[in-house]
Amino acid sequence: MSKPVIGVTTSQRSGWRIFPLVALNVWLAGGRAVRWGAGRPADIGSVDGIIIGGGDDISPELYGGHLMASARLDPARDALERRLVTEARAQNKPVLGICRGAQMINVALGGALDQDAYATHSDSRHYRTILPRKSVQVQPGTRLMDIAGPEEMRVNALHSQAVNRLGDGLRVAARDSGHMVQAIESTQEPFALGVQWHPEHLFYARRQRAIFAALVAAAHAARDNNSQLAAAGQAAAA
């Protein structure tokens, strides 16, 4: 059986250095990553799952917010990733969102963001590092708990925005000590998980590798299920 193929969206600014790290994590989990972005084809039908990567701010026009002077926007990327999230849900394909990607899952499903999250959550420690210095609490009864366990998790942090109002069919999967949302997930199939940190930098940590393994496993299962449905449809039409 061939490896599940995972489409990975990246920033035009930093994708050249981030994609190899994400691809390594996907490979370690038993999948094969292909890079998507500006000037690259992004067909949901050609992959078994997707990763919405980090970098860039999401335009507040997508959720009724106000533009901040410090925002770095990429409208073409916004449009691409919003389409991919909705198409993945419609075609029963799993999605993992990393940092901006978690926020995009939320926005694409009708949610909103807090553009100055550390001002709102003044008790949250403001780290900006790829090192695992931030503590987050995994919420009980969530898919993330099943994937990574219930213990407090040490992660990195590079974000200034965070999920505010949840999108349709989503729930909070982790928070930090100041109650800021650090992970979200779908309450139903297909698999959709968004983490506010960057697990691709933490490939040496078993619990972070487990996040990529869960995506690849879900992509494998979705591919098998979609193949069975297609075969059943062909048999019924014969």
Question: Would you name the residues annotated as active-site residues?
Answer: 99, 198, 200
DSSP 93: -
Contacts 24+ apart (CB under 8 A), 233-237: none
Gap between the Cα atoms of 158 and 153, Å rounded: 16
Query: Regarding beta strands 113-114 and 129-138, do their DSSP bridges make them parallel or antiparallel, or are they unpaired?
Result: unpaired
| Token pair 């979705």: residue | 222
Q: Between the CA of residue 127 and those of 32, 134, 182, what are the distances in Å?
A: 32, 7, 13
Q: Compute and round to an integer the Cα radius of gyration of the chain.
A: 17
Query: First CA to last CA across the chain, in angstroms?
Result: 27
Residue 222 C-beta-side C-alpha neighbours within 13 Å: 27
